[in-house]
Amino acid sequence: MKKLLVIAAALLSLSACTSTQQGAAVGAVGGGIIGAATTGSVLGTAVGAGLGAVAGAAIGKVADQPGKCYYRNSKGQVFIDTCPRG
């Protein structure tokens, strides 16, 4: 029961965040879970959480800009531009 209350409080606190912050938080949690499951170590959890936070923030950043898409060019550089009409 206590775990449920902690989870509910955490989810409620996310409702006041921007899309970028929410994306970073969700990415960090997901990455941490995946890192812990695959490596079974604290280091794996930390690395997974860090990478998840960066990816989640990037996705959340695009979510704040309707009509914008996230692209990567041949050099690996990431940029945001208008989405193609389709």
Contact between 29 and 51 under an 8 Å Cβ cutoff? The reply is no
pLDDT at 20 over 80: no
User: Residue 11 is part of which domain span?
Assistant: 2-82
The model's pTM is 0.56
How far is residue 71's CA from residue 1's CA, in Å, rounded to a whole number?
A: 43
Instruction: Return the pLDDT at 58.
Output: 76
What's the total number of domains in the chain? 1
Question: Could you report the per-residue pLDDT of 23-79, keeping only the tens digit for each?
Answer: 778 888 888 888 889 988 889 888 888 888 888 887 777 666 777 787 888 888 878
Instruction: Return the pLDDT at 23.
Output: 77
Q: Which residue's structure tokens are 């692209």?
A: 71
Contacts of 31 (CB under 8 A, 6+ apart): 48, 49, 50, 51, 52, 53, 55, 56
